Amino acid sequence: MRPYPQADELLGPVRRVQMPRAPRLYAPASNVHVVARCNNREFYFTTAEDFAVLLAHLRELVRTYKLTLYAYTLMANHFHLLVKAPTRDALGHPLRWVLTETAKAFHKARGRRGHFWERRYRAVLVEDELYALAALRHLDRNPVRAGLVDDPPAYPWSSCAAYALGTPNPLITFHPSYLGLSPYPAVGQRHYRTLLAPSPDPTADARDPR
């Protein structure tokens, strides 16, 4: 009896194993950081009109599904949302709606077909107040990391100006972690601008907002 197989016995056809998808996050009434990317990371959002279409669908998302939107950052090939999941329904329902409807709108406007969004959205549970502030900072510094602006509130397609400058934005609800910075709006804005400053810690601006 041979203790080991011979080499030629190991050269048969290789069977491909389909890995199952990880189960979708289901955390009613929890805070979730959502990221959705365009297919192949193509730059599909290139004009003010493109971003206006995205914002219009976010308004409808909030209105129709009673979703709490705490913050958003819209980039040329992806977007970030910080949301509170519905109390009863799965978060996937409203997010699938917004991805489907925005894809339809852009396909119709440009006469194109095929995949618009890349695979599924990414959803990360925001587990505590400290992580929530880190997530807000991560969203708002995204345009700085991309070299689009030097000062986060200057980017027009995010909710940063509402948090950092008090600019009215009826689309969002201030996150409780931000409100906890100070009971006085002007002081809270000042604290948040300090939080947005560049950090000497090289991990502070990493892709993982924690």
Residue 131 and residue 209 in contact, taking contact as beta carbons nearer than 8 Å: yes
Residue 4 has pLDDT above 80, yes or no: no
List 18's β-bridge partners, or say none: none
How far is it, in rounded angstroms, from Cα 17 to Cα 63? Answer: 42
Contacts (Cβ under 8 Å, ≥6 apart) of 61: 67, 69, 94, 97, 98
- Going 165 to 202 to 176 to 32, the CA torsion angle's sign is positive
pLDDT digits (tens, 9 = 90+) for 25-81: 566 778 999 999 998 778 888 899 999 999 999 999 999 988 899 999 999 999 999
pTM of the model: 0.83
State mean pLDDT over 162-184: 97
Residue 17 has pLDDT above 50, yes or no: no
Residue 205 and residue 145 in contact, taking contact as beta carbons nearer than 8 Å: yes
- Going 46 to 206 to 36 to 129, the CA torsion angle's sign is negative
- Two tokens at 182? 């100070």
Distances (CA, A) of 78 to 99, 142, 157, 166: 11, 11, 12, 25
pLDDT digits (tens, 9 = 90+) for 84-123: 988 766 788 899 999 999 989 888 877 777 788 887 788 8
Q: What share of the chain is helix, strand, coil (3-state, %, to 5)?
A: 40, 15, 45
What is the structure's pLDDT at 207? 55
Residue 13 has pLDDT above 70, yes or no: no
User: Vertex 65, ends 79 and 99: CA angle to 5°?
Assistant: 35
Q: What percent of the chain has pLDDT over 90?
A: 56
Listed residue (76, 61, 82) closest to 156, CA to CA: 76
Domain residues of the chain, as ranges? 31-196
What is the structure's pLDDT at 206? 60
Q: Which CATH architecture has domain 31-196?
A: 2-Layer Sandwich (3.30)
- For the sheet with 78-84, list strands across it: 68-74, 78-84, 31-37, 122-126
State mean pLDDT over 191-196: 96
String of DSSP letters for 129-158:
HHHHHHHHHHHHHHHHHTTS-SSGGG-TTB
pLDDT digits (tens, 9 = 90+) for 153-166: 999 999 999 999 99
